[in-house]
Structure 1
């Protein structure tokens, strides 16, 4: 899931130093991160389409593209260009795209893809701009800014149609107004497209599945400029790949159709434990988690001083939650220093996790960070060694977000998201720019058996990134990429390629 700074939120709640569902409003790359030629991913499956011979590239005709976009194109000499390509992290402010297209229709997106393909320009779609690697602002490339396509429509039967530029607070507000909800992240400014395409973890995940599990159709512009509908009975291989195959691959999504659920009341909770208790808290949580009900989503945050926080969300009342919370606390053998349990409406819970009451996608403070991920597939044998990884830095947190429940009801091969049987995903989050500390902890986790990774927390230095993010689904993903993008129009350093 995603959310504001864990430190900020729990300080505001009077709980402690580390907060809820994400270290920052980070995590989901945008709908199409692209920078430079892709790293080759070996595949044992032959592609279904033989790569074509592309004509010689032509210089981009910006005037022609501007005309197709009704004038909504910014070039480096234009006023406001710097702000137009700015991402969530200031680390990427020095990027220098060739142009930013502010699209309002799928036809605009097609015009951008045609220009990038014919000119062999890198192309990247951005909505939230939260890519860990900054892939949505490619040097010398075309940025397709989807934020003008943010409509959310809810049908009487609860089906929601969401344009790809919508950000999460816009989605949650629109759904709540219709009495509906969707399992998704909570950071107000994260884009629905990147979140969904990589999987989508949130506080309702264990009950209702990943965000991508709620998809019934995706409208997507592929490398040939065609606008396709991917669904179970239309382009089924592409539909399979778009459910967990990661933003940036296969095309630019323009619209999603989701199955939603009634917006029920939920109970949020947060407990903080004394310094030194992290090994006991983590050990108790990882043993208790598999038997907890699907209505209960929980996250454990570990930080310097071997501190631990247990927080989460329960679909039900405090009376239903408190015995469950008592049980896991008893397992720790440690008395919490604080405990909060509050019943809220669905929308109020999303606003609480977002850290605001009247927040908008553009009100979120930008933040410099260094981050990666791992996946907790089986319990850690030595929780003390796990907690000790954080002794070297006071600014790094490990954030374990629970899976299981509805996530595990889908077979790993039935969608591109491979981590169906895992206990949790792990965010490795370092405030500021300190890649050395982050890398040491990430690799230390692997040494303890916490391996693989979650593509929505994409890390450009992740060892064996393709295997870590996609596992056994990689060969089929490579086949889909070869079919729909044989000339690597959507190429970037961590793109899926045949």
Structure 2
């Protein structure tokens, strides 16, 4: 029997919200098996109200709850199983921090994001820009097989050999095509890494950003680097830089240019388990992080873009800027190999605001005009136009053709719907 949590249930407060948004769903369904996921989808369709699918993590885009509808919460499907030397099967409700901890004793790791509280399902159907991305690619680039429940109520296996078109779509636009109930990945053997932390005082933000970008691009691909900047009169930056491996001599050489950047006020580096790199808190989701986000992808942090970002950060409408490295192995993959087609950009740029949306939108727009593409999981504005930012024209055209085949009634429309509009 399906586990249904409704208003009035003592457990309801723990499942109604997500990390960055509050919700009041009419029912939260908690399936405990793939078969129950099928039942949950039938329940949601019969209810006739909006429904959302939640993989269990925090989800910056905050689409995994609603008001008055149904939420299919996959948090109980959190298994982590080793199938052979490097192949692992993950449940969609597992959190990436828990996955990393489970894989480490096996000498394995999968590059995910910088937060261990993100659920497997959301990230592994969107992309996965992680702290070993330049070494090992996006998370979806390690995906070799999945089981997906499609709109007709049938669970299908997808891989390079089985339903290859659907496998292509799942890797970057999976939420448009069904509910993935299991993922199989080829893990890397970078279970231990060298992690460096830096802090910078930044008197010249534009100059610093340009130099940071050039430093990242000149680094060996074992290096992935995430930068976090606070706004205000005196910008301050922190960075996490990961060398995928334990060759300390090579890591030292690769990290030295970051230690030589202007404004360094603190630094440390150590060999550590990759499992200790993504921050994992297991904090309850109560809609507590009510921030707005905008995001875009860029080839380079050139001077023109760096100047616009600096102006944006000085204006007061943006409180934080996050810049994540891409490139390297991510860009080795042909752009038509997966539905995530952004294979030439070197950085993901995300702005965060806790203020008014209108001011935030106005501050962001001048920078976004210099960007090329978008990573949907970092965008909190769900306007339909962003689908065209996230998927280049040829990719979007193919997605729309497949959407008409696999979801002709438009069941899965919650996460940046690719359905062609009249």
Q: How does 1:86-485 map to 2 (within 5 A)?
A: 86-89=17-20, 92-93=21-22, 95-245=23-173, 248-304=175-231, 305-315=234-244, 316-328=246-258, 330=260, 332=261, 334-348=262-276, 350=277, 353-354=278-279, 359-360=281-282, 362=284, 366-382=288-304, 383-393=306-316, 396-430=319-353, 432-447=354-369, 449-460=370-381, 464-472=385-393, 473-485=395-407
2-side partners of 1:409 and 1:493: how far apart? 27
Measured against aligned partners, the alpha-carbon deviations of 1:402-450 in whole angstroms (never above 9, x if no partner) come to 11111011011110112111011111122x3543443233212124x12
Task: Label 1:327 to 1:132 Cα distance change in 2 as closer, same or farther (>3 A).
Answer: closer
2-side partners of 1:480 and 1:120: how far apart? 24
1:395 deviates by 5.8
Task: Label 1:413 to 1:152 Cα distance change in 2 as closer, same or farther (>3 A).
Answer: same
1:454 deviates by 0.7
User: Matched residue of 1:173: which SS?
Assistant: helix
2-side partners of 1:463 and 1:484: how far apart? 20
Q: What's the Cα RMSD here? A: 2.3
Which ranges of structure 1 fall in alignment gaps of 5 or more residues?
Answer: 1-66
User: Matched residue of 2:264: which SS?
Assistant: coil
Measured against aligned partners, the alpha-carbon deviations of 1:186-217 in whole angstroms (never above 9, x if no partner) come to 42321011011110011111111111011111
Count of aligned residue pairs for this structure pair = 415
Measured against aligned partners, the alpha-carbon deviations of 1:239-273 in whole angstroms (never above 9, x if no partner) come to 10110115x31111110000012244211112222
Measured against aligned partners, the alpha-carbon deviations of 1:41-78 in whole angstroms (never above 9, x if no partner) come to xxxxxxxxxxxxxxxxxxxxxxxxxx4x2xx1122243
2-side partners of 1:128 and 1:397: how far apart? 25
Q: Bigger shift: 134-143 or 99-108?
A: 134-143
Task: Label 1:263 to 1:366 Cα distance change in 2 as closer, same or farther (>3 A).
Answer: farther
1-side partners of 2:194 and 2:285: how far apart? 26
Which ranges of structure 2 fall in alignment gaps of 5 or more residues?
Answer: none
Contact 1:188 1:361 in 2 (8 A): no
User: Matched residue of 1:219: which SS?
Assistant: strand
Contact 1:122 1:489 in 2 (8 A): no
1:374 deviates by 1.0
User: Matched residue of 2:350: which SS?
Assistant: strand
1:338 deviates by 1.6
Contact 1:408 1:420 in 2 (8 A): yes
Task: Label 1:107 to 1:361 Cα distance change in 2 as closer, same or farther (>3 A).
Answer: farther
Bigger relative contact order (CA 8 A; separation at least 6)? 1
User: Matched residue of 1:273: which SS?
Assistant: strand
1-side partners of 2:242 and 2:287: how far apart? 25
Query: Does 2:4 align with 1:73?
Result: yes
Q: TM-score, normalised by structure 1?
A: 0.78
Task: Label 1:361 to 1:253 Cα distance change in 2 as closer, same or farther (>3 A).
Answer: farther
1:451 deviates by 4.1
Q: TM-score, normalised by structure 2?
A: 0.91
Measured against aligned partners, the alpha-carbon deviations of 1:285-326 in whole angstroms (never above 9, x if no partner) come to 222333321100012333322433443101234432333333
Contact 1:184 1:211 in 2 (8 A): yes
1-side partners of 2:226 and 2:396: how far apart? 28
Q: Bigger shift: 177-186 or 374-383?
A: 374-383
2-side partners of 1:296 and 1:230: how far apart? 32
